[in-house]
Amino acid sequence: MHEELENFERNMPPPHCNPIGTKWVFKNKQGENGIVVRNKARLAQGFCQKKGIYYEETFAPVARLEAIRILLAFAASKGFKLFQMDVKSAFLNGFIEEGVYVRQPPGFEHRKFPNRVFKLQKALYGLKQAPRAWYGFQMGSVDKTLFLLRHGKDLLIVQIYMDDTMFGGSSHALCSKFSEQMSREFKMSMMGELQFFLGLQIRQTPQGNFIHQSKYTRDLLWKFEMADASPQMSPMSTSTALDADEHGKEVDQKVY
């Protein structure tokens, strides 16, 4: 919460200014075992903003799931160890060009000046231009979330998804240097070897990288009160005799 509040400058509202309302939204970020690894607070009501007045662009590139899988396969083929970093309040690292005013956040109103508003100095979570403001790096020509760095014979690969950063390379020293540089530039949280990314549980072994969603499966079982159900090798009986539906519509078997 205090990270959000550091981006304010208290002002009297200028003429014809319609300040954006504020609302706290809290969320827990969980790890692969469902344990809370970070508490997040989101402030502002971006749905109140009008394009051309409060913001111009809202773009922030995100990695495709296919690109992440390709990176995992490439890292396995090259023997790279992948690591993960989390940018603390990534959207708060970007300066915004537009003049944006918001009402004082609930619980943090000034006693002497309750009617004053805040002028934003940096982007807030919940503002439509926040992703675009933080993302100031040079993008690749094909995958705009993938970055490569060649240092002599060594190679460093960085994949970015919003405030999550996945990286790895042929040199552990190069990975450590990248981590240190990022930590100096931003408020980073080093999460160690890549184990959980976008809902995917990842296990890195000398035999290869394996993706599974056992946590997601367990959560579904708990949701539908089937946590004590007996596991089966097949979702249905293997001895059931199935008759051909001669009057049914033809389907493309490759889809299934």
What is residue 81's predicted lDDT score, i.e. its pLDDT?
Answer: 93
Which range scores top for mean pLDDT: 26-35, 74-83, 104-113, 132-141?
74-83
Chain center to CA of 71: 17
Cβ(123)–Cβ(109) under 8 Å?
no
pLDDT range class, residue 110, cuts 50, 70, 90: low
* 86 three-class SS: strand
Residue with the bigger pLDDT between 94 and 146: it is 146
Beta strand 208-212 with 196-197: parallel, antiparallel or unpaired? unpaired
Q: What is the mean pLDDT of residues 99-118?
A: 71
Q: What is the mean pLDDT of residues 37-64?
A: 52
Overall pTM > 0.75: no
What is residue 224's predicted lDDT score, i.e. its pLDDT?
Answer: 92
Cβ(201)–Cβ(192) under 8 Å?
no
Sign of CA dihedral 139, 145, 151, 152: negative
DSSP 3-state percent helix, strand, coil across the chain (nearest 5): 20, 30, 50
What is residue 130's predicted lDDT score, i.e. its pLDDT?
Answer: 42
Rounded CA-CA distance 108/114 in Å is 10
What is residue 140's predicted lDDT score, i.e. its pLDDT?
Answer: 59
pLDDT at 135 over 70: no
Name the burial class of residue 147, with classes exposed (0-12), middle (13-18) and buried (19+) by CB atoms within 10 angstroms of its CB.
Answer: middle
Q: What is the mean pLDDT of residues 152-168?
A: 83
Three-state secondary structure readout of 150-170: EECCEEEEEEEECCEEEEEEC
pLDDT range class, residue 133, cuts 50, 70, 90: very low
**pLDDT tens digits for 64-93?**
788 888 889 999 999 999 999 877 654 444
Which range scores top for mean pLDDT: 119-128, 177-186, 191-200?
191-200
Three-state secondary structure readout of 195-254: CEECCEEEEEECCEEEEECHHHHHHHHHHCCCCCCCCCCCCCCCCCCCCCCCCCCCCCHH
